[in-house]
């Protein structure tokens, strides 16, 4: 994946997309918010998580156990990197796929008002061999690995609560993929600079795209950002709603692979990021992926008698390769669906056992 090394503030015309405005909707981090908030210390957390995965594909977790210092230190280091002169940042790129990139996302024509640093995670540690970050002190890599270890642990805890909530065995049937020494996971730092052109385009009902609509192909994603808005998810009826930012919490996103592993009981959520006219947004995302040779197919312990798989059998390597060949907004999982109708989660067998 070749990424342009041009400065991020050039050629912005391709970043505009016409879409239904959601400016008349109000979603705040309170009881009126549509985004589920789950306390990890709640005895019912396993059921609440499972329900959130069915209905939204995204939820916020609090009381997660990660110290604020761990989050703040990495954010500070990331800000220092993105504040470097463009010529210095370019030394860490072009992303292929790992490294620094800006504006161009992948090699299929997708662009966004974003610059990023994509890093491989091998056996739980961020790999330094795929990218050369100029003048990066060892403390930077220490902060990275401390943070990645913490969020990988969160991902595994969430996956084990999902298994518990679904009443499937063994408990680590999902988390083992991330804990495997050959787990194909990655970590991404996204920086969305403020854009003064946004207001002129918003008058025409258009949104300025920071990162285009897509689903995550992996099993699960753990997202943390600063307190700048921008992240949105698409509900089942196609309405885009804002996700209130919270720098002290994490957002969990269901990936395509988890949708297949649950045979459609969970749905990977389509999401995007809109640029901001005043403040920059910095997000840090851990993508928990299985080993490349892992077969992605519905879990036998979850399937009911006579229940048919809605998906063709494939490996993570096959699916990952396919995603690199398609645009962000494409229905990438559709290529692996059988010629049968995939129902909504509530239409699948015995889901009553996991509803409160």
Distances (CA, A) of 121 to 110, 180, 234, 287: 24, 12, 29, 9
Q: Which two tokens stand for residue 352?
A: 């009553």
Res. 311: pLDDT tops 70: yes
For 72-128, the pLDDT digits (tens) are 999 999 999 999 999 999 999 888 889 999 887 877 777 888 999 999 998 888 987
CA atoms within 13 A on the CB side of 291: 10
Q: What is the mean pLDDT of the chain?
A: 85
For 162-183, the pLDDT digits (tens) are 999 999 999 999 999 999 999 9
- Amino acid 200: pLDDT: 61
> DSSP states of 153-219 as a string?
HHHHHHHHHHHHHTT-SSTTTTHHHHHSTTB-EEEEEEEE---TTHHHHHTTTEEEEEEEEE---SS
Rounded to the nearest 10 degrees, what angle do helices 45-55 and 138-165 cross at? 90
Which strands make up the sheet holding 271-274, listed edge to edge? 16-18, 206-214, 271-274, 231-234, 240-242
- Amino acid 257: pLDDT: 98
- Amino acid 340: pLDDT: 64
Residue 15 pLDDT grade (very low, low, confident, very high; cuts 50, 70, 90): very low
Q: Which residue has the higher pLDDT, 133 or 273?
A: 273
Cα–chain center distance at 279: 21
> What is the spatial distance between Cα 208 and Cα 273, in angstroms, rounded to a whole number?
9
Which residue do the tokens 């959520």 mark?
Answer: 269
Q: Which residue has the higher pLDDT, 266 or 10?
A: 266
- Amino acid 26: pLDDT: 27
Average pLDDT over residues 42-65: 97
User: What is the maximum span of the chain, computed from C-alpha positions, in angstroms?
Assistant: 60
Residue 25 pLDDT grade (very low, low, confident, very high; cuts 50, 70, 90): very low
**Residue 116, beta-bridge partner list:** 101, 190
> What is the spatial distance between Cα 93 and Cα 73, in angstroms, rounded to a whole number?
23
Residue 353 pLDDT grade (very low, low, confident, very high; cuts 50, 70, 90): very low
Res. 31: pLDDT tops 50: no
- Amino acid 205: pLDDT: 60
> What is the spatial distance between Cα 31 and Cα 248, in angstroms, rounded to a whole number?
18
> What is the spatial distance between Cα 185 and Cα 172, in angstroms, rounded to a whole number?
17
Which phi and psi (to 5°) does residue 102 adopt?
Answer: -145, 150
**Residue 285, beta-bridge partner list:** 188, 223
- Amino acid 135: pLDDT: 75
- Give the global pTM: 0.86
Cβ burial, residue 72 (10 Å; 0-12/13-18/19+)? middle
- Amino acid 152: pLDDT: 98
What 8-state DSSP symbol labels residue 291?
Answer: B
Instruction: Please check whether residue 208 is in contact with residue 274, taking contact to mean a CB–CB distance below 8 angstroms.
Output: yes
Sign of CA dihedral 16, 21, 24, 30: negative
Cβ burial, residue 119 (10 Å; 0-12/13-18/19+)? buried
Instruction: Please check whether residue 212 is in contact with residue 112, taking contact to mean a CB–CB distance below 8 angstroms.
Output: yes
- Amino acid 103: pLDDT: 82
Q: Which residues are catalytic?
A: 281
Percent of the chain predicted with pLDDT > 70: 83
- Amino acid 320: pLDDT: 96
Residue 30 pLDDT grade (very low, low, confident, very high; cuts 50, 70, 90): very low
Least confident of 67-81, 180-194, 225-239, 332-346: 332-346
Residue 22 pLDDT grade (very low, low, confident, very high; cuts 50, 70, 90): very low
- Amino acid 116: pLDDT: 95
- Amino acid 23: pLDDT: 33
Instruction: Please check whether residue 198 is in contact with residue 273, taking contact to mean a CB–CB distance below 8 angstroms.
Output: no
Pairing of strands 37-39, 58-62: parallel
Residue 7 pLDDT grade (very low, low, confident, very high; cuts 50, 70, 90): very low
- Amino acid 347: pLDDT: 55
């Amino acid at each position: 994946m070749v990424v342009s090394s041009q400065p991020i503030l050039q050629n912005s015309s391709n970043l505009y997309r016409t879409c239904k405005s959601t400016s008349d909707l109000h979603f705040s981090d309170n009881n009126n918010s549509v985004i589920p908030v789950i306390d990890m210390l709640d005895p019912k957390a396993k059921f609440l998580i499972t329900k959130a995965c069915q209905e939204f594909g995204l939820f916020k977790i609090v009381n997660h156990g990660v110290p604020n210092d761990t989050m703040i230190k990495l954010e500070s280091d990331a800000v220092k990197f993105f504040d470097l002169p463009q010529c210095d940042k370019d030394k860490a790129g072009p992303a292929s796929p790992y490294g620094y990139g800006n504006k161009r996302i992948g090699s299929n024509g997708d662009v966004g008002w974003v610059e990023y640093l994509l890093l491989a995670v091998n056996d739980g540690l961020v790999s330094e061999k795929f990218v050369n970050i100029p003048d990066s002190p060892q403390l930077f890599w220490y902060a990275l690995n401390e943070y990645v270890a913490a969020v990988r642990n969160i991902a595994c805890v969430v996956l084990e609560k999902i298994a518990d909530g679904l009443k499937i065995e063994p408990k680590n049937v999902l988390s083992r993929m991330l804990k495997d020494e050959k787990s194909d996971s990655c970590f991404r730092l996204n920086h969305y600079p403020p854009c003064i052109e946004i207001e002129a385009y918003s008058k025409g009902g258009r949104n300025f795209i920071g990162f285009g609509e897509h689903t995550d192909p992996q099993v699960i994603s753990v997202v943390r950002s600063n307190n700048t808005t921008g992240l949105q998810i698409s509900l089942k009826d196609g309405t885009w709603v804002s996700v209130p930012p919270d720098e002290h919490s994490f957002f969990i996103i269901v990936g395509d692979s988890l949708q297949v592993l649950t045979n459609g009981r969970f749905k990977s959520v389509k999401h995007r990021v809109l640029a901001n006219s005043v403040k920059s947004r910095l997000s840090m995302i851990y993508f928990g992926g299985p080993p490349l040779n892992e077969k992605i197919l519905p879990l036998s312990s979850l399937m009911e008698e006579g229940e048919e798989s809605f998906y063709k059998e494939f490996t993570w390597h096959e699916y990952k390769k396919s995603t690199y060949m398609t645009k962000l907004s494409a229905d990438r999982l559709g290529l692996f669906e059988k010629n049968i109708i995939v129902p909504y989660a509530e239409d699948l067998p015995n889901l009553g056992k996991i509803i409160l």
